[in-house]
Structure 1
Amino acid sequence: MTEREITSPVALCLPGGDLNPDAVGWSRTPMHDTSGIGGGIRDRGRNKRWEYWAIVSPTHIVSITVSSLDYAAVHGFWVHDRRTGVTIDRGKVGGPWTATLPPSLGAGPATAKMRGLEIEITEVRGATKITAKAPGLSVCISAEREAEHESMAVVVPWSKRRFQYTVKDVVRPATGHIEIDGVGTDLENAWSVLDHGRGRWHHNVRWNWAAAVGHTDGHLVGLQFGARWTEGTGMTENALIVDGHATKISEQLRWDYDLEQPMKPWRIVGTDVDVTLTPEYDHRSRTNLGPIGTRGDQVFGTFDGWIRVDGARIEITSLFGWAEDVANRW
């Protein structure tokens, strides 16, 4: 598989709204102007925009989402205490007016405002500030952004009218504070992961996503893997981020897991990847509203195995992250 690297700014959409062929490829830093998504009446109902952040630490997992599906907004906010196994979920579904999303990554704040839930994601110097408030739960987190660090940005083309731009930024040190029912905890040794998405999707879709970050074998390593949704497009979202440098994996990786028993190990294998996730927590999502619905298992745990970058093997030992299988009717 040959994937083109994009090294200069490019518009995701042509003036009429179709996919710009020159936008298809991948980049180490965000290069795409995605302002053509979400405006006007072109393909109403198919435009999907979101900012998703996961923050992991030895004590907590925090998940925050601001999203617009055109006809509705789905906002996520949950915190899992790894020490006690308790999860508090304050996510809500509202009208599209409850979400504000920037036209392109970093071009403005992302906010969700509803009764009982407020989220604000703003870019500040050298970091992204993430705050969320709901009854009995609040977080304030700073996801640090080093000037020279690389991420993985990819345009996945299904057709000229159906396509997705994603930025997976998996190696972002995090600091911050969580408050649950008036009891506060400072996050220590924490990492944050961004999934920025802009595109036009089919109604039925299923995907895999896995990410992990931490220090292992003398390196700072980020794992970024995906499957199913990119098949047949000539693109993948697979990458390794080692010591700040992104290495693109231009092959579909093999995923082995049992969705009927998601707490069993998940294995991801390729020419330069062989890692296994040992689960400790499955965050399940199930909704069924007739034509609209979601079924998801996001399984958190530790990765072990090995990766290879520029011919050098790196041992992966107890790298914390997740793997997921999600099916949406949206």
Structure 2
Amino acid sequence: MRQRRLAPGPLLDDDGRLAEAGWSTSEVRTYDRQRIAASRFRIKEWDYYCVLSDVLSGGEDGPFGIALTIADNGYVGLLGVSVLDLAGRSETTENALVPFPLGRMRLPRTADGGDVVVRHGGLRIEYHHEETARRLVVDHPRFGGGRGLSGELVLTQPTDDRMVIATPFPRAPKAFYYNQKINCLPAQGTVTVGGRELVFDPATAFGVFDWGRGVWTYDNTWYWGSASGIHEGVRFGFNIGHGFGDTTAASENMLFHDGVAHKLDRVHFHLPRDTYDGAPWRFTSNDERFEMEFEPILDRAADVNALLVRSTQHQVFGRFTGSVVLDDGTRLEIENLLGFAEEVRNRW
């Protein structure tokens, strides 16, 4: 497949349609909510962070992690907090629904600026941009049946390449998806859950930032996989996915090695039959540059049902083992890299 690099300019043309489909390693297209031609009920905007901490050599804790979501999906907004105890194969997820936010959550028009502070029902989530970092703050006194959760993480952001993709939808000219995934963000800080401190060390804890803006068709299923960590002393990670929109111009499949992106073509998800976490997943690519087996640890399953809006999710955390090939032909052998793979169906 011949993939198209995005050129600089506005994301949408004067008619509110996607000006160009394709991919990039930086935010070259400018998103402007005011240019959208569709109803406010159809606009979907979210900022999602997932931070995973692997086991320190000789350490007793881990792996563990936290995921934070702020989403304005037109009909309904969502604040989400997940604490992942991968060593104990358990998780706690709590969501707060905000009726008809319609842009009032004021999510930034860029992934590289703007702060977000949202409070609802005692839950507070904050994202703050600093010069070379992102600061995440969460406070949820009623989390886990009153155990409580609070904490602050700083994700250092080097000047790395990232995955950027602009995707149209067939037969829906006003629909589009503009997405950025920033991997391999070293994380430092502490999150306290019911008196227990989860300490994130930047030597072993890495975050991914998922920035999404768009107008979606009603019923979609997507597949996404992501991992970040250290390979032979160098930061390494990847983003893989498919399942929605017209990806003729570009896929979202990309490797990240020492801050440099290496573009892949098509990656195929081979899910186990009749289970999400009871058997390994397998991944192959048509260019033979991504061959991986994924050993599940925990399925974070959720079914958020708000009448018109429903999201059925299976986000499975585990370890990737296999091989990848960089743009220059260098083959890397990957072993037990912590990450996740998911299947999500949204009717929204």
TM-score normalized with structure 1 length: 0.92
Report the 3-state secondary structure (helix = DSSP H, G, I; strand = E; otherwise coil) of the residue aligned with 2:295. strand
Alpha-carbon distance in 1 for matches of 2:250, 2:270: 21
2:335 to 304, 317, 320: 317
Alpha-carbon distance in 1 for matches of 2:36, 2:249: 29
Once the two structures are superposed, the pairs formed by residues 1-330 of structure 1 within 5 Å of their partners are: 1-6=1-6, 8=8, 10-21=9-20, 24-36=21-33, 42-58=38-54, 59=62, 60-97=64-101, 99-135=105-141, 136-147=148-159, 149-158=160-169, 159-188=172-201, 189-217=204-232, 219-230=234-245, 232-249=247-264, 251-258=265-272, 260-263=274-277, 264-270=279-285, 271-309=288-326, 310-330=328-348
Summarize the Cα distance change of 1:323–1:104 in structure 2 as closer, same or farther, 3 Å threshold. Answer: same
Q: Is the 8 A contact 1:52 1:65 kept in 2?
A: yes
The Cα of 1:13 is off from its aligned counterpart by: 1.3
Alpha-carbon distance in 1 for matches of 2:274, 2:96: 27
The Cα of 1:40 is off from its aligned counterpart by: 7.4
Counterpart of 2:58 in structure 1 is none
- CA deviation vs aligned residue, 1:200-236 (integer Å, no higher than 9, x gap): 1000000000001112245421111001114554321
Which structure 1 residue ranges, 5 or more long, are not aligned?
none
> Which sits farther off after the overlay, 313-322 or 154-163?
154-163
The Cα of 1:62 is off from its aligned counterpart by: 0.5
Counterpart residue identity of residue 14, structure 2: P
State the superposition RMSD in angstroms: 1.9
The Cα of 1:76 is off from its aligned counterpart by: 1.0
- CA deviation vs aligned residue, 1:139-188 (integer Å, no higher than 9, x gap): 211111113x1111110111531110100111111111111123323212
Report the 3-state secondary structure (helix = DSSP H, G, I; strand = E; otherwise coil) of the residue aligned with 1:51. strand
Q: How many residues align?
A: 324
Alpha-carbon distance in 2 for matches of 1:255, 1:184: 36
Counterpart residue identity of residue 52, structure 1: Y
Alpha-carbon distance in 2 for matches of 1:41, 1:35: 11
- CA deviation vs aligned residue, 1:257-296 (integer Å, no higher than 9, x gap): 1262111111111120101110111100113444421111
> Which sits farther off after the overlay, 179-188 or 191-200?
179-188
Counterpart residue identity of residue 267, structure 1: R
Alpha-carbon distance in 1 for matches of 2:238, 2:198: 27
Report the 3-state secondary structure (helix = DSSP H, G, I; strand = E; otherwise coil) of the residue aligned with 2:266. coil
Q: Is the 8 A contact 1:130 1:142 kept in 2?
A: yes
Q: Is the 8 A contact 2:124 2:138 kept in 1?
A: yes
Counterpart residue identity of residue 32, structure 1: R
Which structure 2 residue ranges, 5 or more long, are not aligned?
55-61, 142-147
Q: Is the 8 A contact 1:12 1:36 kept in 2?
A: no
Percent identity between matched residues is 27
The Cα of 1:91 is off from its aligned counterpart by: 1.8
Alpha-carbon distance in 2 for matches of 1:323, 1:45: 29
